[in-house]
């Protein structure tokens, strides 16, 4: 969009010109994901996951709309209506399993997308708003996923709703009225289920709207890249179409293959058996665990066991909210001028410690709260906060980054300027030319 | 300033967590958790292989029929199957007339309303009906079962950790008596009156009396394997896998088709991607020269050149 | 592909390359297209009636309590069904109408079962726009032809439930049914209506 060499949209037909003069939607698409959007030529596969997140959002919206044609949001009918979908509705079992596993895969690709952003410093100037809009999407996703999990009205649905709305009661004075307001009663019931269904249907469209803002904000500076060096000239880039559409296309098909293997051959692997038991407000399951994508946060919540000035419950809830909110400050917590973790030896080490730490938190959050699990989650939570709020600012102050390449092209071409052809001009290449005979 | 404040917040959280950690560990060592009877005597589910296992698994119709017979003769008196309809039994290989006869002769009738008086009544089941529950409600079920509630079996193999293997283990895992060691170490876990000891049950003591006790308890039609306790348990488990996931065969077939389609699509899309990138990618490799250590090397080389020149 | 390329002559190498690339791109895009179309099939077919609704396609009705001249409303596929026990006068009136006068010519005998000409079983759905006609209940307006009368737009049916005046295009539909015994009728038996 903001590159001088970006190819302007030129309608090929008279009809194309007619439309372009009246509603330049094709021009918009061309500039956003077509030949008119120059993208750094050196993106690696970690850059494919943003598009994949869009794919899974679409899958969730489409399957969700058809499931809503059969689902009843009533405490007496919800569980049976889901089983009716599974048993009697044409292809209902497939739609429901796709929706169920689609939620997990949406989170998988989003987590990879977030970690790519953290490693390559994609949150740094001038992309701070891209990062913050992404976090808004993530928060909306968490709310949507949580409310969606309540809808089947199984045991985990019910007790998940009970426990998660219980967070709010930790706040002094306003907490209990807030919880009752959220539930529309003293415990999860009909009012809760109906409002969760309403919001679960609404929020994905809000997410789609914020996704558009996220992409818009991204297209002003353009995509970052593995070197973190700014685009300087035309040969640093390739047009999005056909190069990155082709790359996203094959990689997307490969990820969908993995998704299909889960959906069709292990559809309940990522779920919990207790959600196949209808909700019973009088009996709590032996262990309440959220879906796997919330495990790290559940571990943070449970890590606080001591009433130190504030009650432990309030500490846990504050820490859980803070663990996400602090990410909004990430562009200012890490103010190293170098973006890419590849050129930051110290940052890189701590990045991988963070990854291991989060896996540890996830492990702890998915298990029954034995003393060992709690101790692990206490140390891991401490590292989480230390990493972002203490270590990262210190690294960016004291680290000596490796020398950066002058530009994407010089780094990629090893300084051999004579061998390069400007992007956009096709040259026969030794590796791919077909022999004549 | 912002970073200073956030740093203090971070220190606050870390401090509280470290205090919590020391309290937790100190508590653990000063007051180590006592082992429980469940930890020591609970058994993991036995191995079970069914025809429906694995990505290509399909149901064994004959086994499902036997399993249905076991359900009908052994389980149905106490356990409902409320999500399954008689018409669904056609998937087990029964024809329309047989399904109709099964529904018609089902021991429990379907609640209905008398068309003339408006009073509650019962009628014979029809193929379109779901299996009627053995009890009108939970209170009646508990009253009839020593205050235990026999769960509905429609989804049981999906609603328990361990799935089908757990159900099979539970059915065959009753033990006459607790071991002397258990009673000595955990007097509180001694099987109370009216419960039954089963090490595969998470609580060890279970309200359901052993349902399958003797070989030949169910008489199978000729041409079927002998009805040993083990065989009966396996058959009814296979049947309950079907009731929980009646579309399993469709799922496996559709999954195979989808996987093959996506595999071919991935390969073709990959080749197309290679083709499109072929010319432009000639000298652009993200790895290799881009690697920081290589850049560092070339920087050193450049510096040395500068010195030499 | 190779043979085609050698037949081309001069610009062979470039030609092959271009065509192979085109082929792969076309194949990849086609696969994407096939995938999208295949996915829409379940998304559309899910809107068809589910198995439990299809299973209710037959109902059995006890007609022993319907006196001559009376009618009842029952339900089949969530639609009203009229079962009328015609009086000899009504049968006579229906048979007296010349077929040429009818908008949708059918005889009463063609609309009932042999030997059961007094049992007129029709859907209670006006063929105009789907209202439920009057005439089953005691004292309801049976219209100028003594059969059924649709209050929505004034369609009048005669004693064989054939359309006589008003906007409806065809007679009230006779569903598939069979007599299980003299007093028991099974509606919906024998396939689709």
Whether B3 contacts A391, CB under 8 Å: no
CA distance A31 to A2: 10
Task: Name the residue among A407, C20, C182 with its Cα closest to residue B274.
Answer: C20
Two structure tokens written together for A422? 């400007």
> Which residues, given as ranges, of chain C have pLDDT below 70?
1-21, 190-193
Q: Do C42 and A435 touch (CB under 8 A)?
A: no
Q: List chain B residues with CB under 8 Å of A319.
A: 13
pLDDT-based confidence at residue B295 (cuts at 50, 70, 90): low
Write out residues 5-64 of B within 8 Å (CB-CB) of A.
6-7, 9-11, 13-14, 16-21, 23-25, 27-28, 33, 55
The answer on pLDDT for B73 being more than 90 is: yes
Q: What pLDDT is attached to residue C7?
A: 37
Task: Say if residue B184 is in the same domain as residue B71.
Answer: yes
All residues of chain A having their beta carbon less than 8 Å from the beta carbon of residue C16 are 434
Neighboring chain B residues of C34 at a CB cutoff of 8 Å: 261
Same domain, B69 and B188: yes
pLDDT at A431 over 90: no
SS3 state at B262 = helix
Is A223 a known active-site residue? yes
Query: For residue B76, is pLDDT > 90?
Result: yes
DSSP assignment letter at B48: -
B136 and B185 together in one domain = yes
The mean predicted confidence, pLDDT, of chain B is 90
The reply to whether omega before A372 is within 30° of 0 (cis) is no
Sheet with C177-181, strands from edge to edge, namely C59-62, C184-187, C177-181
Spatial distance between the Cα atoms of C123 and C121, rounded to a whole number of angstroms? 7
Would B305 be classed as within a structural domain? no
pLDDT at position B66 over 60: yes
pLDDT at res. C11: 44
Residues listed for chain C: 193
pLDDT at residue A409, rounded to an integer = 74
Q: Is the Cβ pair A429, B278 closer than 8 Å?
A: yes
On whether both B144 and B61 belong to a single domain, the answer is: yes
pLDDT tier for residue B298 given thresholds of 50, 70 and 90: low
Residues B168-182 have a mean pLDDT of 90
Average of pLDDT values for B60-89? 96
Rounded to an integer, the average pLDDT of A36-44 is 92
Of A403, A437, A4, A18, the closest CA to residue A234 belongs to A4
Range with the lowest mean pLDDT among A98-112, A256-270, B134-148? Answer: B134-148
The contact set of A with C (CB < 8 A) is 62, 66, 69-70, 84, 87-92, 94-95, 242, 246, 249-250, 432-436
In this predicted structure, what is the pLDDT of residue B40? 85
**Do A94 and C13 count as a contact with CB atoms less than 8 A apart?**
no
CB of B286 closer than 8 Å to CB of A412: yes
Residue in C25, C42, C47 closest to A69 by CB = C47
Query: What is the model's pLDDT at position B241?
Result: 97
Residue B177: its pLDDT value, please?
A: 81
Average pLDDT over residues B204-216: 93
Residue A408 pLDDT class (50, 70, 90 cuts): confident
In a domain, B97, yes or no: no
pLDDT confidence of residue A83: 97
Q: Pick the residue of C16, C21, C28 with the most B CBs within 10 A to test the interface with B by mutation.
A: C28
| R_g (Cα) of chain C, nearest Å | 29
Q: Which residue has the higher pLDDT, A409 or B106?
A: B106
Are both B253 and B241 inside the same structural domain? Answer: no
Looking at the predicted structure, is the pLDDT value of residue A1 above 60? Answer: no
Q: B254 lies in which domain range?
A: 248-280
Claim to verify: residue B258 and residue B238 sit in the same structural domain: no
Query: Is the domain of B274 the same as that of B259?
Result: yes
Distance to chain B for C49, nearest Cα, Å: 14
Q: What is the DSSP string of A14-69?
A: HHHHHHHHH--HHHHHHHHHSTTSEEETT--GGGGHHHHHHHHHHHHHHHHHHHTT
Can you give the pLDDT at residue B5?
94
| Chain B residues with beta carbon closer than 8 angstroms to that of C54 | none
Picking from B6, B28, B284, the nearest residue to A333 by CB comes out as B6
How far apart (Å, rounded) are the C-alpha atoms in residues A69 and A64? 9
**What pLDDT sits at residue A416?**
38
C-alpha dist (Å) from residue A108 to A111, A119, B45: 5, 17, 31
**Closest Cα of chain C to A61: distance in Å?**
12
Alpha carbon of B132 to those of A93, B124, B139, B156, B163: distances in Å? 24, 10, 16, 17, 24
Residue-level pLDDT at C22: 80
DSSP C45-112: HTTSPPHHHHHT--EEEE-TT--TT-EEEEEETTEEEEEEE--HHHHHHHHHS-GGG-SS---TGGGS
Nearest Cβ partner of A412 from B24, B278, B284? Answer: B284
The highest-level CATH class for domain C53-187 is mainly beta
CB C162 within 8 A of CB C146: no
Q: Which of C20, C28, C42 has its CB closest to that of A94?
A: C42
* Minimum mean pLDDT range among A223-237, A292-306, A405-419, C38-52: A405-419
- In tens, the pLDDT along A127-143 reads 999 999 999 999 999 99
pLDDT tops 60 at residue A357: yes
Cα B117 to Cα B99: distance, rounded to the nearest angstrom: 31
**What residues in C contact A66, CB-CB < 8 Å?**
43, 46-47
Residue A430 clears pLDDT 60, i.e. is over it: no
Whether the CB-CB separation of C77 and C56 falls below 8 Å is answered with yes
Residue of C21, C73, C103, C153 marked active site: C153
Do residues B138 and B188 both lie within one domain? yes
pLDDT at B99 over 70: yes
Between A159-173, A252-266, C10-24, the lowest mean confidence (pLDDT) is in C10-24
Distance in Å, alpha carbon of B301 to nearest chain A alpha carbon: 12
pLDDT over threshold 50, residue A212: yes
| B73 and B164 together in one domain | yes
d(C-alpha A339, C-alpha A349), whole Å: 15
Q: Is the pLDDT of residue A423 over 70?
A: no
**In chain A, what residues touch B83 (CB-CB under 8 Å)?**
80, 83, 87
Name the pairing type of β-strands C155-158 and C163-165. antiparallel
Lowest-pLDDT range, A215-229, A401-415, A416-430, C35-49? A416-430
Average of per-residue pLDDT across A366-381? 94
d(CA A38, CA B269): 22
3-state helix, strand and coil shares in percent for chain C, rounded to the nearest 5 = 30, 25, 45
Q: What is the band of B116 on the pLDDT scale with cuts at 50, 70, 90?
A: confident
| Contact of C82 with C161, CB cutoff 8 Å | yes
User: Across chain A, which distance is largest between two alpha carbons, in Å?
Assistant: 84
**pLDDT value at position B90?**
95
DSSP string, A136-176: HHHHHHHHHHHHHHHTT-BHHHHHHHHHHHHGGGGSTTTHH
The rounded mean pLDDT for chain A is: 91
Q: How far, in Å, CA of B247 to CA of A263, rounded?
A: 13
Residue B80 lies in a domain: yes
Instruction: Give the chains touching B; criterion: ≥3 Cβ pairs < 8 Å.
Output: A, C
Rounded mean pLDDT, B253-265: 97
| B190 lies in the same domain as B272 | no
Smallest Cβ–Cβ distance between C16 and the set A89, A92, A434 belongs to A434
> How would residue B307 be classed by pLDDT, with cut points 50, 70 and 90?
low
Residue-wise pLDDT for A107-131, tens only, equals 999 999 999 999 999 999 899 999 9
Q: What is the mean pLDDT of residues A256-264?
A: 97
β-pair type (B205-206, B196-197) = antiparallel
The pLDDT score that the predictor gives to residue A235 is: 84
Go through C144-173 and write b for each residue having 16 or more CB atoms within 10 A of its CB, e for each that does not.
ebbbbbbeeeebbbbbbbbbbebebeebbe
Interface of A with B in 28-47 (CB under 8 A): 41-44
In whole angstroms, give the CA distance from residue A247 to residue C25. 12
Give the pLDDT of residue C191.
Answer: 42
Res. A291: pLDDT tops 90: yes
Is it true that the peptide bond before C71 is cis, omega within 30 degrees of 0? no
Q: Which residues of C touch A (CB under 8 A)?
A: 12-13, 16-17, 20, 25, 28, 32, 42-43, 45-48, 50-53
- Range B156-174 average pLDDT: 96
User: Which of the residue ranges B30-39, B66-75, B188-197 has the most confident prediction, judged by mean pLDDT?
Assistant: B66-75
The residues, any chain, with a CB within 8 Å of residue B276's CB and separated by 6 or more, are A242, A243, A246, C21, C25
Q: B150 touching C, CB under 8 A? A: no
**Those residues with Cβ within 8 angstroms of residue B49's Cβ, 6 or more apart along the chain or in another chain:** none
Average pLDDT over residues A263-291: 94
For residue B120, being part of any structural domain is answered with no
Residue A429 has pLDDT above 60, yes or no: no
B115: confidence class by pLDDT, cuts 50, 70, 90: confident
Chain B interface, mutation test: which of C13, C16, C19, C21, most B Cβ atoms within 10 Å?
A: C21
Spatial separation of the C-alpha atoms in residues A394 and B7, rounded to whole Å? 10
pLDDT greater at residue A407 or residue C167: C167
Tracing tokens 């082929």 back to the chain, one arrives at: C23
Q: Which two tokens stand for residue B300?
A: 């050193």
Is residue A229 within 8 A of residue A411, CB to CB? The reply is: yes
The answer to whether B23 and B31 are in contact (CB under 8 A) is no
The confidence score (pLDDT) of residue C192 equals 39
Q: Same domain, yes or no, for B153 and B259?
A: no
**Residue keyed to tokens 């040969």:** A235
CATH code, domain carrying B67 = 1.10.760.10
Look up A377 and say whether it is catalytic: no
- End position of a domain, from candidates B246, B269, B292: B246
- Domain extent listing, chain A: 30-267+276-288, 295-408
Number of domains in chain B: 2
Query: Residue A435: pLDDT above 50?
Result: no
Average pLDDT on A222-244 reads 90
Together in a domain, B240 and B264: no
Put simply, the chain B residues between 144 and 173 with a CB less than 8 A from any chain A CB are 151, 154-155, 158-161, 163
Q: Which CATH class is domain A30-267+276-288?
A: mainly alpha
pLDDT band with cut points at 50, 70 and 90 for residue B8: very high
| Interchain contact, C50 vs A435, CB within 8 Å | no
In the DSSP assignment, the letter for residue C155 is E
Q: Is C156 helix (H, G, I), strand (E, B) or coil?
A: strand
Rounded CA separation A257/C29 (Å):
17
Q: Of residues B301 and A311, which shows the higher confidence score?
A: A311
């Amino acid at each position: 969009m903001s590159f001088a060499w970006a190819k302007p949209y030129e309608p090929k037909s008279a009809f194309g010109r007619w439309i372009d003069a009246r509603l330049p939607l094709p021009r918009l698409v061309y500039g956003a994901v077509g030949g008119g959007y120059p993208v750094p030529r050196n993106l690696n596969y970690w850059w494919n996951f943003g598009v994949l997140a869009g794919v899974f959002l679409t899958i969730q919206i489409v399957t969700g709309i058809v499931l809503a044609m059969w689902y009843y949001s009533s405490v007496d009918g919800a569980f049976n209506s889901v089983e009716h979908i599974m048993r009697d509705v044409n292809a209902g079992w497939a739609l429901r399993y796709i929706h169920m596993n689609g939620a997990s895969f949406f989170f998988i690709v989003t987590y990879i997308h977030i970690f790519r952003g953290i490693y390559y410093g994609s949150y740094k100037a001038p992309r701070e708003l891209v990062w913050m809009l992404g976090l808004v999407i993530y928060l909306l996703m968490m709310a949507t996923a949580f409310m969606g999990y309540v809808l089947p009205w199984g045991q985990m649905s019910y007790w998940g709703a009970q426990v998660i709305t219980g967070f709010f009661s930790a706040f002094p004075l306003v907490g209990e009225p807030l919880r009752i307001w959220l539930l529309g009663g003293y415990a999860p019931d009909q009012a809760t289920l109906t409002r969760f269904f309403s919001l679960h249907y609404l929020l994905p469209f809000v997410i789609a709207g914020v996704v558009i803002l996220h992409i818009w904000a991204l297209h002003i500076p353009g995509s970052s890249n593995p070197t973190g060096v700014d685009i300087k000239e035309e040969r640093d880039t390739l047009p999005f179409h056909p190069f990155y559409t082709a790359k996203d296309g094959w990689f997307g098909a490969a990820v969908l293959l993995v998704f299909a293997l889960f959906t069709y051959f292990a559809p309940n692997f990522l779920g919990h058996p207790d959600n196949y038991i209808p909700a019973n407000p009088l009996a709590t399951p032996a262990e309440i665990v959220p879906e796997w994508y919330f495990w790290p946060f559940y571990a943070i919540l449970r890590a606080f066991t001591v009433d130190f000035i504030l009650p432990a419950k309030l500490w846990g809830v504050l820490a859980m909210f803070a663990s996400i909110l602090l990410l909004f400050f990430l562009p200012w917590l890490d103010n190293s001028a170098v973006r890419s973790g590849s050129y930051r030896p110290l940052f890189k080490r701590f990045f991988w410690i963070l990854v291991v730490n989060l896996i540890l938190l996830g492990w702890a959050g998915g298990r029954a709260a034995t003393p060992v699990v709690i101790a692990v989650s206490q140390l891991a939570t401490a590292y989480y906060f230390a990493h972002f709020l203490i270590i990262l600012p210190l690294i960016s102050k004291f680290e000596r980054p490796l020398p950066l390449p002058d530009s994407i092209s010089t780094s990629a071409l090893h300084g051999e300027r004579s061998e390069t052809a400007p992007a956009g001009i096709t040259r026969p290449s030794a590796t791919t030319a077909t022999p004549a005979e | 300033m912002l970073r200073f404040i956030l740093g203090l917040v971070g220190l606050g959280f870390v401090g509280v967590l470290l205090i919590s950690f020391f309290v937790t560990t100190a508590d653990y060592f000063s007051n180590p958790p006592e082992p429980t009877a469940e930890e020591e005597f609970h058994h993991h589910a036995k191995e079970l292989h069914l025809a429906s296992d694995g990505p290509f698994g399909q149901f064994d119709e004959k086994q499902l029929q036997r399993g249905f017979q076991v359900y009908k003769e052994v389980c149905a008196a106490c356990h409902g199957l409320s999500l399954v309809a008689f018409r669904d039994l056609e998937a087990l290989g029964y024809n329309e007339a047989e399904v109709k006869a099964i529904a018609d002769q089902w021991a429990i009738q379907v609640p209905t309303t008398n068309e003339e008086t408006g009073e509650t009544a019962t009628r014979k089941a029809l193929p379109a009906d779901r299996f009627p529950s053995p009890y009108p409600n939970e209170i009646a079920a508990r009253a009839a079962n020593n205050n235990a509630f026999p769960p509905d079996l429609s989804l049981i193999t999906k609603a328990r950790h361990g799935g089908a293997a757990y159900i099979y283990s539970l059915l065959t895992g009753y033990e006459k008596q607790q071991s002397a060691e258990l009673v000595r170490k955990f007097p509180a876990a001694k099987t109370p009156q009216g419960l039954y000891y089963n090490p595969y049950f998470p609580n060890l003591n279970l309200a359901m009396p052993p349902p399958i006790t003797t070989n030949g308890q169910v008489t199978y039609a000729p041409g079927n394997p002998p009805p040993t306790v083990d065989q009966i348990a396996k058959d009814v488990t296979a049947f309950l896998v079907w009731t929980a996931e009646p579309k399993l065969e469709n799922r496996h077939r559709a999954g195979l088709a989808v996987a093959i389609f996506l595999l071919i699509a991935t390969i073709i899309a990959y080749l197309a991607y290679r083709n499109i990138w072929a010319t432009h990618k000639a000298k652009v490799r993200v790895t290799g020269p881009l690697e920081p250590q290589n850049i560092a090397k070339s920087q050193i080389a450049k510096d040395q050149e500068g010195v030499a020149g | 592909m190779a043979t085609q390329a050698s037949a081309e002559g001069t610009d062979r190498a470039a030609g092959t390359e271009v065509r192979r690339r085109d082929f792969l791109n076309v194949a990849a895009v086609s696969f994407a297209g096939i995938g999208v179309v295949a996915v829409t099939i379940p998304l559309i077919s899910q809107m068809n009636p589910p198995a439990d609704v299809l299973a209710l396609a037959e109902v059995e009705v006890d007609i022993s309590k319907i006196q001559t001249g009376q009618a009842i409303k029952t339900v089949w596929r969530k639609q009203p069904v009229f079962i009328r026990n015609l009086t000899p006068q009504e049968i006579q009136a229906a048979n007296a109408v010349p077929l040429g006068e009818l908008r949708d010519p059918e005889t009463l005998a063609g609309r009932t079962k042999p030997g059961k000409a007094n049992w007129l079983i029709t859907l209670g759905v006006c063929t105009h726009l789907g209202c439920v006609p009057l005439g089953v209940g005691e004292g309801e307006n049976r219209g100028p032809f003594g059969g059924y009368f649709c209050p929505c737009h004034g369609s009048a049916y005669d004693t064989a439930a054939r359309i006589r005046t008003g906007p409806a295009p065809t007679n009230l539909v006779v569903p598939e049914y069979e007599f299980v015994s003299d007093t028991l009728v099974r509606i919906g038996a024998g396939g689709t209506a």
